[in-house]
Copies of this chain bind each other. A is one copy, B any other.
Amino acid sequence: MLHILFLIAITAEAMTAALAAGRRSMDWVGVCLLGCVTALGGGSARDVLLGHYPLTWVEHPYYLAITAGAALATIFLPKIMRHLHQLFLLLDAVGLVVFTVIGCNVAMQLGLPTGVVIVSGMITGCVGGVLRDVLCNEIPLLFRRELYASVSVITGCLYIAGLYLGYPHLLVTIGAMLVGLALRLLALRFEWNMPKFVYAEEKTADPGDR
């Protein structure tokens, strides 16, 4: 089940990344590359940081074909993308919680401490979007607004807590993902945001200004 959701999630991520590429008038190669990096970048970053080889797309190169294909398909379907806008918001949220649970699983299989398990889930869920924004020359939206990383952390915490309390794995997985999904959709619907930290200062040489 998680595997099918994973395939849906990387497809959706690649397609929304393709739209981001289209907004910046990238060429077809850029669209494909940005799609692959966004969809598979979170898992790759996690695996590289945890030393978990081989990477997912090295073991299953057809993931590259799926994401590149999904990104390319988006080029010919911009009309449809516009109509399915709500659906893609949903799929993007599904991707976030699916990636998070998968990331937690990887870290748990490596026997890593709880803190790292949660961070592993967050990296898997969020780094793809950060890479996309950096490659699009933007400050990552993750850092600026929306409950995105927070939803990932909450999903991861629920998942681990559930397993720790001994509930059945399937139940915990579905439960944590549903809560995370609901939270993300509510945040989108009601435009919940984290408070901002606004710091202005008299301009002086400053290490933080570097």
Residues of A within 8 A of B (CB): 12, 15-31, 33-34, 44, 48-51, 53-55, 57-58, 61-62, 64-65, 74-75, 78, 82, 85, 88-89, 91-93, 112-116, 119, 129-130, 132-146, 148-150, 188, 191, 193-201, 204-210
Contact = CB atoms under 8 A, between A and B. Distances in A.
Given A33-B149, A65-B115, A194 B27 contact: yes
B20 A209 contact: yes
Could you say how many copies of this chain the assembly holds? 3
A125 to B, nearest CB: 12
A191 B44 CA distance: 34
Contacts of A82: 201
A195 B85 CA distance: 25
A137 B139 contact: yes
Contact of A17 (B138, B200, B208): B208
A193 to B, nearest CB: 6
Candidate in A29, A50, A74, A194 with the most chain B CB atoms within 10 angstroms = A29
